Amino acid sequence: MTQETGGFAALGLNSNILAALTAVGYEEPSPIQAQAIPVILSGQDMIGQAQTGTGKTAAFALPILSKIDPAKKEPQALILAPTRELALQVATAFETYSKQMPGLNVVAVYGGAPMGPQLKAIRQGAQVIVATPGRLVDHLRRDEKVLSTIQYLVLDEADEMLKLGFMDDLEVIFEAMPASRQSVLFSATLPHSIRAIAEKHLRDPQHIKIASKTQTVTAIEQAHLMVHADQKHAAVLRLLEVEEFDALIGFVRTKQATLDLAAALEAKGYKAAALNGDIAQNQRERVIESLKDGRLDIVIATDVAARGLDVPRITHVMNVDMPYDPESYVHRIGRTGRAGRTGRALLLVTPRERRMLQVIERVTGQKVGEVKLPDAQQVLDARIKKLTNSLAPLVADAEASHGDLLDRLTADIGCSPRALAAALLRKATNGQALTLAEVQRDQPLVPGSGSSAPRERSERSERPDREGSRERRAPVPLAEGRARCRTALGARDGIAAKNLLGAILNEGGLTREDIGRIQVRESFSLVELPEEGLDRLLGKLKDTRVGGKPLKLRRYRED
């Protein structure tokens, strides 16, 4: 048992799964995982009441993978999801957690893509099928035996499936599976229709719900910001520009995320460090001491690593990744507002996590108001205010100590005091952008933040995709200074946003912040790149290949 996966090992998961968890850097099971994993491992049917953000995917994926026999080349587990986006996401999660299980194959079955390859993958022995109900029924019509070997069934977001009108399809699917299977149902809400399904198709299910006691939060000013998952770093950097903090603790979910964000902050000149379960006790103490005495101003931590951390200087808590439940939220933000001081808590919310925000508001009995990402003018104002604050106290006695030197320097150089003061400012501010135009140029753009945020790729409120819906979506407004480019590589080529990002970063010589939104669609992808120097960049990427195929990135015009 490794130290990091201790919490998971105690739940009875097999060693391959534990190894994969160590690799992804999960330190501890989330509450829904701690409760659901032993039940699913025991073979009992289960109803789990949980929404996105609680870690529910791993809550069913881990025990099911633990039970699957990779040597048997036949479908053993079926996961039903309401939309293509969720199906793909769940399939990716299964792939991640089964990295150490050679011979384990996962197939995603959804509308809008040709049926042939899906069926072929099933016939070639994929043990896990992740499907949207409509398309799965289409497969059943062609081959009624497809589901005859299923031993584990999961209905993910069952309430959403019913809302999307999949009830009849679900009945067809239930009938096509062996009655001896184990069934697990996850749903954020349990309306009558869901209870009826459970009554009819589950056997003596155990009901799991993460109880939420009302929690009180006082003396802490709370706010949330809507942001896309891949824009979080840029959003954090921009928020920090305008937040007046003394010390700040940022919470993320994985060890890797602590390292990545702390490094990004350090690169921008913040005194920041990471705190995670891999960091030795003495080093951990050093980090906390440094935060206390001001050698560090920012610590980016996982929940586990921040346990017991009590530093009165902390004025801000930033929930960079959503906490798993309201209790953990309350616990996190309680790091500030200590000893009668007021504190500020910021929560980054991706479009998919809106519901989790509502749960937090309900449990804490408080509204967590929305803030918008500061614009270039606000960033500039904040920078000038900081400069003013740092210089103002010096003015009183600097003239007495350095006034004569000023006279001599202006005489020697032959310039006005204004010119000299300007030169000194330039030196003191170290090339920092301090005009509106410069700030606009430098600021990493964070498209789509704010309440009018366009939908995230993975957001749920899509129509069911059974009829192979076209890939039409509302056009996303393009941020200033950005150009949209298109490649013919898409999800059907096995491409994910991170593959495109990696290739463009490596071969284009860009930094992460240069690249805006990446949208991977079924048969193509769109990438936002800086307008400035675009032709040169496209030239550099001329021969780039992703996943073995030519990227062929071209400027894209919507109209």
Task: List residues bridging with 527 in a β-sheet.
Answer: 485, 518
Between 29 and 530, whose beta carbon lies closer to ligand AMP? Answer: 29
Q: How far is the CB of 382 from ligand AMP (least distance, A)?
A: 31
CA gap 396, 309 in Å, rounded: 39
Task: List residues bridging with 528 in a β-sheet.
Answer: 484
Q: Six-digit token pair at 450?
A: 């704010």
Q: How far is the CB of 34 from ligand AMP (least distance, A)?
A: 9
Between 258 and 364, whose beta carbon lies closer to ligand AMP? Answer: 258
Between 118 and 350, whose beta carbon lies closer to ligand AMP? Answer: 350
Q: How far is the CB of 514 from ligand AMP (least distance, A)?
A: 25
Q: How far is the CB of 558 from ligand AMP (least distance, A)?
A: 31
Residues 6 or more apart from 343 whose CB is under 8 A from it?
219, 220, 221, 314, 315, 316, 317, 333, 335, 336, 337
Q: Six-digit token pair at 465?
A: 């995709």
Between 254 and 410, whose beta carbon lies closer to ligand AMP? Answer: 254
Between 96 and 440, whose beta carbon lies closer to ligand AMP? Answer: 96
Q: How far is the CB of 71 from ligand AMP (least distance, A)?
A: 28
Query: Which residues contribute to the site for ligand AMP (CB under 6 A)?
Result: 26, 28-30, 33, 52-58, 253-254
Separation in Å, CA 504 to CA 201, 490, 511: 48, 15, 9
Between 41 and 140, whose beta carbon lies closer to ligand AMP? Answer: 41
Among residues 225, 149, 227, 160, the alpha carbon closest in space to that of 191 is found at: 160
* 232-242 vs 376-413: helix crossing angle, rounded to 10: 60
CA gap 512, 497 in Å, rounded: 13
Q: How far is the CB of 81 from ligand AMP (least distance, A)?
A: 11
- b/e burial code for range 10-28 (CB count within 10 A of at least 16 → b): ebebbebbbebbbeebbbb
Q: How far is the CB of 29 from ligand AMP (least distance, A)?
A: 5
Q: How far is the CB of 335 from ligand AMP (least distance, A)?
A: 19
3-state secondary structure 382-451: HHHHHHHHHHHHHHHHHHHHHHHHHHHHHHHHCCCHHHHHHHHHHHHCCCCCCCHHHHHHHCCCCCCCCC
- CB count within 10 Å of CB 402 equals 12
Separation in Å, CA 301 to CA 273, 336, 346: 9, 14, 15
Between 26 and 166, whose beta carbon lies closer to ligand AMP? Answer: 26
Q: How many helices (H) and strands (E) does the chain have?
A: 20, 20
Q: How far is the CB of 276 from ligand AMP (least distance, A)?
A: 11
Q: Six-digit token pair at 360?
A: 């937090």
User: By the 8 A CB rule, do 373 and 453 touch?
Assistant: no
Q: How far is the CB of 7 from ligand AMP (least distance, A)?
A: 8
User: By the 8 A CB rule, do 485 and 555 touch?
Assistant: yes
Q: How far is the CB of 377 from ligand AMP (least distance, A)?
A: 34
User: By the 8 A CB rule, do 69 and 195 touch?
Assistant: no
Between 11 and 237, whose beta carbon lies closer to ligand AMP? Answer: 11
Between 253 and 466, whose beta carbon lies closer to ligand AMP? Answer: 253
Between 253 and 517, whose beta carbon lies closer to ligand AMP? Answer: 253
Long-range contacts of 306-310 (CB under 8 A, 24+ apart): 306/249, 306/251, 306/275, 306/332, 306/335, 309/249, 309/275, 309/335, 310/335, 310/338
User: By the 8 A CB rule, do 272 and 295 touch?
Assistant: no
Between 28 and 160, whose beta carbon lies closer to ligand AMP? Answer: 28
Between 173 and 188, whose beta carbon lies closer to ligand AMP? Answer: 188
Name the DSSP letter for residue 320. S
* Side-chain-facing half-sphere of 517: CA atoms under 13 Å: 25
Q: How far is the CB of 47 from ligand AMP (least distance, A)?
A: 17
